[in-house]
Each structure stands twice: as structure tokens, then as C-alpha cells.
A and B are shown apart, each in its own frame.
Chain A
Amino acid sequence: MSKILSVLINEYLRAVRTKAFIIGVLVTPLLMGGGAIAVAVAENSKDLTDRHFVVVDRSEMLTEVIAEAMEGRNAHAIFDDEGEQEEPKWILETWDPDEHLGERSDQVLSKRVDDGELIGFLIIGADIPEVAPHIPELAGDGIDPATDEDELARGDRELAWFTDTPTYNDLPSTLSHLVNTAVRRHRISGASMDADLVDKLSERQSITTMGLVEVDEDGNVTDAKETDKIAEVAVPVGLAVMLFMLVMMSTPALMNNVLEEKMQRIAEVLVSAVTPFQLLMGKLLAAALVSLTLGVIYVGGLLVFVHNADVVPPAVVEALSPGTLLLFGVFLIMTLLIHGSIFAGLGAACSEIQDTQTLIMPAMLIMILPMMFLGPVIQSPDGTLATVLSFFPPATPMIMFMRVGIPPGVAWWELPVALVLCLAFAILSVWAASRIFRVGILMQGKAPSWRQMWSWIRAG
């Protein structure tokens, strides 16, 4: 035990005394903060150049609607409360066919877009306001749907936005909304109904997500509260991502550390003084301690922030409970033992950095597996995929941690079973890695195959 402690202390001090560690402590939060600042800066530095566009209105009834809407928008909607412009003006130009006799509108306007005069142009087919030909049952009542599709030139039902900047989506989606609203009202009026009344009747109601009503032992009922979806998911997901980052920072470094000792011929002296198992355990625990140190620094900083900042929702503060943080620490140690032993074993098996390139891929894949399923797990934390993954030990720490934190949580037996499974797998990983370690640490030359390493584990 004292030997493991000696290795642990040396490895820990060696890791935290490096400039890389100190920079890591300072830079990672800066990068995160920097990311947030970059997003904010990007939000505030929108391009406010006027956007000119043309509408070719063959229906001859929609231009006016669009012109009115643009006028209103350019006068009011693009300014914030303090009167500062935050969106570009959209300036409508109309297309008078009489002025362009003998010209193809799309051809002429494409040229203008190409020359940079316009952001794009909208062509509204002549028959757009009419009821679609595939709804013949609406015939009569003043509506005159075309019954024969052949009578309709394809272009007459076209509503098309032409542009060389397809990523600028705000304008075409606004135009689409305006045209559709106007056309709908036109069709409703055409069916001898009151368009205003229909609008009122079809008013949409948004949904509120609530928690559950709770009844305590005395029968007192607590009303359900409105849930803050983001706040409830932010802590478990945020900490799970931090778990992943800490493991990513430590375990590949562990492989390099072992490989370095092997390449610099330090390993032989070490294994003459301590057993390969003691050496491996000391290194793994040191890596866990380094990660815990980082975790304490980051989480500590986070706690100070959430308790002092007014902008943080109460649900977030509540979710950062001592129980959650304890579970975070336990899962951090377990995930480090599991992935750390895999990487340390690989380091011991290889003789050169190049050798690790081929072996590192599967180990990396196993490590990033939970990240790949982050979306589905958040969406459906008690679904089959999330449940199965949370009992797959290499993924357990991240996935189970999220499942515990995200409502509805897990059944009472799930966390203890997952912890036991994870612990058993961690012990198995350390044991297997120590077998690879014992054979590999003094071996020079070609890197072994996975099959060879398997035979080392079995033979011992």
C-alpha cells in the first residue's frame, strides 16, 4: 500500500507541477467563457446592410400585403427598446411587367442578384390565391377550382424564392408566412366565411409543461409546479459533459506517461521496486486525484458563481446538491479507473508513439460512446437506449449520472445496481490492464495485436 502511495504522490505532484496543468486549470474555463462571449459578440454584430428584393406578383393581389408588412417592419420591428437598429431593413421593389415587355423576369432579376443589387426575388404564380386543383369538393360556393390540371401552367402555381444566398433564411420565411396568411384569408372569404372570425376560432394555444402533483405521508397535496426544462437538464448534462472532459484530459495522458517511462527506460527500475500492479494502481489513482482536483476547482468555481449570480435559475442551484456532487465524484473515479486502465495498458503494450495510433481508436470510441448518444438520452432518459447504455459499464458513469438527474429519474434499484456493475467492471479493467502491464512494460519492438494482448491477459 505504501508503494502505491509513493507512486501516487510522485505521479500526482509530477502532473500538477507542470505548466500544462496550471494552464489547463486557467484556460479551460476561459475557453468556455470565451465561447459564450464569442456567441454574444456574434449576436451583437449582425450585418445591418439593407436587403433589397423584388416580388414578381403574377396574382396581382399580394404585393400590396407584402409592401405594407415591410413598411411596418422597417419602421418599428427592426429596432430594440432603445431605438437601436438590430435587424437589417428589407426593401421591396416591385416588378411592373409593362416596363419589361419581352423580357424574362427570372433572367433579368437573376443578373441583378448576381451583381449584388438584390438579395433575391420572389415569384408568385398567378393561381396561388386560388384553391388547389386537388380539392374539387370545394367547387361551388363562389370558389372556382381548376378541375383539369393540364389547364394550369406549372408556373401559375409556383411560389419560388430565387437567391444566391440560400443560408439567409429570415426573409424568405417571412415572405412565405405573409403570402400564406393572405392567401388563406382570401380563400376563406371566397368561401363566404368571415376571415377575422376564422382567425379567432383557430387561435393557437401554447402548452405549459408541469411537474407532478405530490402527496406527502400526511395526505397534504402540493400542486404541480411549472418546470423549467433547460434548468432541469442543464446541471446533469453539464456535469456529465464535464465528466467526459476530465476523462479526456487524463486518460490519454496516462497512456503517454506509461509509454514515456517505457521509452526512457525508467520502467525497469520501477518494476524492480514495485509490482506492475502497484505501479498501475498508483498511476490510476494519481490520474483520478488530478481529475478530482480539476473537478473541485471547476465545480467550486461554478458553485461560487451560481450562488452569487442572480441570472441563474433556482432549479440549477437546487440541482447542484451535495448528493449530486458526491455521485459526480464517485462516477469520476470509476470512469477514470475503467478508461485509465485501458489507456495505461495500451501505453505498456506499445514501444513507440506511432504504435499507439492503431490501438487508440477502439479505446477512444468506447470513451466517446456516451457523448454520441447524448441527444437521445436527454430526449428520453427512461427509454430503452438510455436504460441499456446506463448499465453498460464504460458508459454507465455519464449516462446513469444524467438519468439520475433528469426527471423522471430512475427506479430505486437502478443506481445501486449500476454502481456495483461499474465497480466490478472497473476492478476487472484494472486487473486485465495489470496483466498487460506486466508483460508489456519491459517488452520492446513491434506493438502487439489485440489478440496477443488477450493472450497476455489470459496467461498472466
Chain B
Amino acid sequence: MNAVSLNAVSRSFGDTKAVNGLSLDVPEGAIYGFIGPNGSGKTTSIRMILHIIHPDSGTIEVLGQQGNRSANDRVGYLPEERGLYKKLKVKQVLAYYASLKGMPVKEARQEGAQWLDRFDLSHTTNQKIETLSKGMAQKVQFIATVITRPDLLILDEPFSGLDPVNHEALRDAILDLNRNGTTVIFSTHDMSMAERMCDYVCMIYKGNKVLDGTLQSIQQGQGEDTVRLRFDGDASLLQGHPSVAKVTDMGQYQEVRLAGDAQALLHHLVERTTVQLFEIARPSLHDIFVRIAGPEAAEAVAATSHAVSSQN
């Protein structure tokens, strides 16, 4: 049973094709990563799933309902660009957002109180949103998204702007919800995050799906042709070696795509320097994405990551 099914969905804005013939299935109970650089069509796809905008062609089924908004009350949505009524109190915001999904105020108060407690925000109940820190406001917005106990949770870049502590708290909350049966779709440009959390991944680039499946099957499909390396010296040691197809600097280590024998490469390095890490691994999502979508896509991802990290 799928929580969400898209079948050959397309949507254009003027001459720009934002989403082009996208088909995908999100299994119930999955954590489904929707990844790709900014402008690749993720947000447009999400808005179509929520029936905020309509597709030009194709069909969309959400929680068993096709082509209408009747499932929306069972969907929680955290958009990428967040905002709350600054002049309202925390409890008022939570009650209002819950009432829009049909939850009675009393129930919303109880549920809200539990969530506020979980995020150590109980003291803010009667505070106005404008008095909260950015991290607190983000957590309140997350609570507003999950307060109605949705069956499907759609999170657009949920971790952007969060410090490590809040990041961890939010990640635990999402995993808990998922363990209790909530299907989670989360959109991100951060592939390593998707790799750590998702069961299923769909990569989208320039409105086209470039990869779709379980994380395991995707990685297996690429084979174990990657070596993670850390050694004294710089990457020039790897240049020109027949076993090396491509080197990507990952900061803490170098990721090498093999074109030949791994042992020959290890031997080559040990003779010349001290090797601290040599791990034969499956390729990372980032690497797979670049292989499929091409170097131009890699630059787009890099640009997005850079822009986001400098914002943060």
C-alpha cells in the first residue's frame, strides 16, 4: 500500500517545465527522501501532492484519495520557508493550526502541551512568537505540523538553520513518529542527511527523476567501486594512478571511484605515505547523483550546499 503515488505528473510555469512526467510511489510507513539541488522541482512536486497547485497532466493519489484535497487533514506539512504569526502566543498558534485540520481546541491544547514538554518549551506556552529565538520558533512550527498526529508528514528542508542539539531533537522526533506509523517524506539537498535517515530515495534534477528506490538497492546497483581514503599528504599522490577514475575531496577524507584494482592502489599509497583510512565502500548518494546527472548537477548541488551553509 502506498501513502502517495504520482503517475506521469507534469507542471510548467510559463515556458519553464518545473516537473516533467514524474512518477513515484511512497510506501506507507517509509521515510522517503526527496533529494536534488534547489530549483530541481522538489517544492513544486510537494505542493502538487498537497493540491496547493494542480498538475498540468498526470494523476496524484494521497492516502487513498485521488485528485482532491480530502486527505489533507491527515497530512502535516512543514514548508521550507517558515513563518508564524508573530503577535500570537504559542498556544494560540498551535490551537489555530490544529483547528484548521479539524482538531478540537481542547485536544490541541493537550497534544500541544505534550510536544512543548518534549522540546523543553513548556515555559513558552503564553509567550508571543516574536519573543522566541529562531530555534525555538522552528520547533514550535514543527509542533504545529505534527500536532494533529498526521498519517503523512511532509517536511521541506526540516533541519536548515538548526543547531546540532535542536537538529538531534528534531531527528529523534521524526524517527519516533515514523516508528509509530507515520509516513515521512522529506525533501532536502543534503544527501548525507538523506543517506542517514531514509529508507527510500528519489532524486530529482531539472524536473526529471534521475533515481528512485531503496537506499540499499540504489547503492547495490552501483557496486562497491568506491574507496574512502585518508592519508598524509595531498590528493596529488592519487593522480595518474590507473586504478583511479575520479577523486572527490570530502573534507575529512578523499572519495575515490575505482577504475581498477583496489589493492594495487593501496600498495601504491603505502609505499609513499602513511595511510590512516582505506575503506572499500558503496558510493555515496552524492557520488551516485553526480554519476547519473552529470558534473553540471554536481555543481548545482555544491552551489546549493554552499549557499545554505553560508546562510546558516
A3 within 8 A of B: yes
Q: Are A272 and B50 touching (Cβ within 8 A)?
A: yes
Q: Are B77 and A265 touching (Cβ within 8 A)?
A: no
B181 within 8 A of A: no
In this complex, what residue of A is CB-closest to B73?
A: A273
Q: Are B83 and A7 touching (Cβ within 8 A)?
A: no
Q: Are B100 and A268 touching (Cβ within 8 A)?
A: no
Q: Are A10 and B81 touching (Cβ within 8 A)?
A: no
Q: Are B50 and A6 touching (Cβ within 8 A)?
A: no
In this complex, what residue of B is CB-closest to A265?
A: B83
Contact pick for B72, options A6, A10, A14, A273, CB 8 Å:
A273
Q: Are A269 and B97 touching (Cβ within 8 A)?
A: yes
A139 within 8 A of B: no
Q: List 28 A-B contacts (CB under 8 A).
A: A2-B102, A6-B96, A10-B96, A10-B99, A14-B85, A14-B87, A261-B83, A264-B85, A264-B86, A265-B81, A265-B83, A266-B83, A266-B84, A266-B85, A268-B52, A268-B79, A269-B77, A269-B83, A269-B144, A272-B50, A273-B72, A273-B73, A273-B77, A273-B101, A275-B69, A442-B47, A442-B52, A442-B53
B194 within 8 A of A: no
Contact pick for B100, options A6, A264, A265, A442, CB 8 Å:
A6
Q: Are B84 and A14 touching (Cβ within 8 A)?
A: no
**CB under 8 Å from chain A, chain B span 55-85:** 69, 72-73, 75, 77, 79, 81-85
Q: Are A271 and B52 touching (Cβ within 8 A)?
A: yes
In this complex, what residue of B is CB-closest to A441?
A: B52
A270 within 8 A of B: yes
Q: Are B52 and A273 touching (Cβ within 8 A)?
A: no
B88 within 8 A of A: yes
Least Cβ distance of A263 to chain B in Å? 8
**Given A10-B96, A442-B47, residue A272 in contact with residue B82 (CB < 8 A):** no
In this complex, what residue of A is CB-closest to B81?
A: A265
Q: Are B88 and A14 touching (Cβ within 8 A)?
A: yes
Q: Are B99 and A272 touching (Cβ within 8 A)?
A: no
Q: Which residues of B contact A10 (CB under 8 A)?
A: 96, 99
Complex CA distance for A265 and B88, rounded to whole angstroms: 15
Q: Binary interface profile of A, 216-240, with partner B (CB < 8 Å = 1, else 0)?
A: 0000000000000000000000000
Least Cβ distance of B18 to chain A in Å? 13
Q: Which residues of B contact A7 (CB under 8 A)?
A: 100
Q: Are A270 and B81 touching (Cβ within 8 A)?
A: no
**Total cross-chain contacts (CB, 8 A):** 53
Q: Are A265 and B69 touching (Cβ within 8 A)?
A: no
Q: Which residues of A contact B81 (CB under 8 A)?
A: 265, 268
In this complex, what residue of B is CB-closest to A439?
A: B53
Interface residue SS majority, chain A: helix
Least Cβ distance of A43 to chain B in Å? 44
Interface-centre pick from A2, A261, A270, A272 (highest chain B CB count, 10 A): A272
In this complex, what residue of B is CB-closest to A279?
A: B100
Interface-centre pick from B72, B83, B84, B97 (highest chain A CB count, 10 A): B83
Q: Which residues of A contact B75 (CB under 8 A)?
A: 272
Complex CA distance for A430 and B286, rounded to whole angstroms: 48
Contact pick for A272, options B72, B85, B88, B102, CB 8 Å:
B72
Q: Are B82 and A265 touching (Cβ within 8 A)?
A: yes
Least Cβ distance of A8 to chain B in Å? 11
Least Cβ distance of B147 to chain A in Å? 12
Q: Which residues of A contact B88 (CB under 8 A)?
A: 14
A274 within 8 A of B: yes
Complex CA distance for A293 and B167, rounded to whole angstroms: 46
Complex CA distance for A442 and B72, rounded to whole angstroms: 18
Q: Are A270 and B79 touching (Cβ within 8 A)?
A: no
Q: Which residues of B contact A271 (CB under 8 A)?
A: 52
Q: Binary interface profile of B, 82-116, with partner A (CB < 8 Å = 1, else 0)?
A: 11111110000000110111100000000000000
Q: Which residues of A contact B96 (CB under 8 A)?
A: 6, 10
Least Cβ distance of B85 to chain A in Å? 6
Q: Binary interface profile of B, 149-180, with partner A (CB < 8 Å = 1, else 0)?
A: 00000000000000000000000000000000
Interface-centre pick from A9, A261, A268, A271 (highest chain B CB count, 10 A): A268
Q: Are B79 and A269 touching (Cβ within 8 A)?
A: yes
Complex CA distance for A2 and B100, rounded to whole angstroms: 8
Q: Are A274 and B100 touching (Cβ within 8 A)?
A: yes
Q: Which residues of B contact A264 (CB under 8 A)?
A: 83-86
Q: Are A265 and B52 touching (Cβ within 8 A)?
A: no
Q: Which residues of A contact B144 (CB under 8 A)?
A: 269
Complex CA distance for A269 and B83, rounded to whole angstroms: 8
Complex CA distance for A271 and B96, rounded to whole angstroms: 14
The 7 closest A-B pairs by CB, nearest first: A265-B83, A264-B83, A273-B100, A265-B81, A6-B99, A266-B83, A272-B77
In this complex, what residue of A is CB-closest to B47?
A: A442
Q: Which residues of B contact A273 (CB under 8 A)?
A: 72-73, 77, 97, 100-101
Q: Which residues of A contact B69 (CB under 8 A)?
A: 275
Complex CA distance for A9 and B83, rounded to whole angstroms: 20
Q: Which residues of A contact B85 (CB under 8 A)?
A: 14, 264, 266
Contact pick for B52, options A9, A14, A18, A272, CB 8 Å:
A272
In this complex, what residue of B is CB-closest to A5?
A: B99
Q: Given A266-B84, A274-B100, 7 other A-B contacts at CB below 8 A?
A: A6-B96, A7-B100, A264-B83, A268-B79, A272-B79, A273-B100, A275-B69
Complex CA distance for A330 and B84, rounded to whole angstroms: 34
Least Cβ distance of B78 to chain A in Å? 8
Least Cβ distance of A304 to chain B in Å? 33
**Given A3-B100, A270-B100, A442-B47, residue A265 in contact with residue B79 (CB < 8 A):** yes
Least Cβ distance of A23 to chain B in Å? 15
**CB under 8 Å from chain B, chain A span 241-291:** 261, 264-266, 268-275
Least Cβ distance of A44 to chain B in Å? 45
Complex CA distance for A275 and B50, rounded to whole angstroms: 11
Least Cβ distance of A21 to chain B in Å? 12
In this complex, what residue of B is CB-closest to A264?
A: B83
In this complex, what residue of B is CB-closest to A11?
A: B96
In this complex, what residue of A is CB-closest to B85?
A: A266
In this complex, what residue of A is CB-closest to B101?
A: A273
Q: Which residues of A contact B101 (CB under 8 A)?
A: 273
Q: Which residues of B contact A261 (CB under 8 A)?
A: 83
In this complex, what residue of B is CB-closest to A444?
A: B81
Q: Which residues of A contact B53 (CB under 8 A)?
A: 442
Least Cβ distance of B301 to chain A in Å? 23
Complex CA distance for A268 and B69, rounded to whole angstroms: 15
Least Cβ distance of B108 to chain A in Å? 11
In this complex, what residue of B is CB-closest to A282?
A: B100
Least Cβ distance of A205 to chain B in Å? 66
